[in-house]
């Protein structure tokens, strides 16, 4: 059995998307006819033995409650929102709600960042992960980008393609490290929660104690080179959701009808008009459509 955790962030995020983000929580931004994280939920619901999809963040419960009910009914998988008492980082919320994640005895759980667009090869990724036969390993989805863009992401250095073990991991390095980057999609063995406890205790005993745990810096970096971190190389569609001023545009799933792409679309929630154009920075050969506010 498996579960999935989607990290949805909090109300302090999405400021670059104003005025849209003034009315709509960023995880519910409309992308290609669906809320952003509905694409994630749909992909998770198609997995074999999916027990539950858990949304973790510090958004107001009232903003998310109706959405989770709709998603549970639509996809036939329980969708639950767990609200952090304050922003806890990309792993702090997972550790805080560890008992809920463990409920039902799942052997593994996915972690997905809300602000990624992808074709989500989750079943293939899980099949690759379970081959390691351990409950204390992490598989991170990686893809290749142009060297100049790699420093904007977590960079992965791995050994030969047979084992795909990650030997070194650096989050947003100052200089080039590798053009294989972290896509923000992971599979974690349930035993990784025990390691998070160790990290939490170390941070609490430090001079500046904190409840905030970062999956990238506190967990992945320490797992690299220990045969506990592996990369699943993804050659399909992937990008982040960004506003037009960051240089990449707000990248949408390329599934809208051609007529809508030509004429533009209007979101039901905000009335903001969007137009379609090619992405400024294409991470792979070929065209990606992106949706930007006009």
Does the global pTM surpass 0.85?
A: no
- Token pair 């949706």 is at which residue? 291
- For residue 205, give the 3-state DSSP assignment: helix
| In the chain, domain spans | 2-244, 245-293
- For residue 77, give the 3-state DSSP assignment: coil
Q: What CATH number belongs to 2-244? A: 3.90.550.10
Contact partners, residue 201, CB within 8 Å, separation at least 6: none
Per-residue pLDDT of the chain (294 residues; tens, 9 = 90+): 999 999 999 876 556 666 666 778 888 888 888 999 999 999 999 998 999 999 999 988 887 889 999 999 999 999 999 999 999 999 999 999 999 999 999 999 999 999 998 999 999 999 999 999 999 999 999 999 999 999 999 999 998 667 899 999 999 999 999 999 999 999 999 999 999 999 998 888 876 668 899 999 999 999 999 999 999 999 999 988 865 554 443 443 333 333 333 434 333 333 333 333 333 333 332 323 333 332
Q: Are strands 2-9 and 50-57 parallel, antiparallel or unpaired?
A: parallel
Instruction: Tell whether omega for the bond before 19 is within 30 degrees of 0, i.e. cis.
Output: yes
Among 119, 103, 120, smallest CA distance to 111 is for: 120
């Amino acid at each position: 059995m498996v579960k999935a955790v989607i990290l949805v962030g909090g109300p302090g995020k999405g400021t670059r998307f104003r005025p849209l983000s003034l009315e709509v929580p960023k995880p519910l931004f409309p992308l290609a006819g669906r809320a952003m994280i509905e694409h994630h939920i749909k992909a998770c619901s198609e997995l074999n033995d999916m027990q539950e999809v858990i949304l973790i963040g510090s958004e107001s419960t009232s903003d998310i409650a109706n959405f989770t009910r709709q998603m549970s009914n639509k996809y036939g998988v329980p969708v639950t929102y767990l609200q952090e008492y304050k922003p806890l980082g990309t792993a702090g919320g997972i550790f805080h709600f560890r008992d809920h994640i463990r409920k039902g005895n799942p052997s593994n759980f996915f972690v997905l960042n809300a602000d990624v667009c992808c074709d989500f090869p989750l079943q293939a990724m899980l099949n690759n992960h379970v081959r390691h036969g351990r409950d204390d390993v992490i598989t991170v989805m990686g893809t290749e980008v142009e060297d100049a863009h790699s420093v904007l992401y977590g960079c992965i250095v791995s050994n030969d393609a047979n084992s795909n073990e990650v030997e070194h991991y650096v989050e947003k390095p100052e200089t080039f490290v590798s053009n294989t980057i972290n896509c923000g999609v992971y599979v974690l063995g349930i035993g990784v929660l025990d390691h998070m406890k160790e990290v939490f205790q170390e941070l609490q005993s430090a001079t500046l104690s904190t409840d905030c745990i970062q999956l990238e810096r506190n967990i992945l970096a320490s797992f690299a080179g220990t045969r506990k971190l592996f990369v699943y190389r993804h050659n399909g569609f992937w990008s982040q959701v960004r506003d037009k001023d960051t240089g990449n545009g707000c990248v949408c799933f390329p599934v809208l009808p051609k007529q809508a792409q030509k004429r533009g679309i209007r979101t039901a929630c905000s009335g903001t008009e969007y137009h379609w154009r090619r992405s400024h920075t294409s991470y792979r050969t070929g065209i990606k459509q992106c949706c930007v506010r006009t």
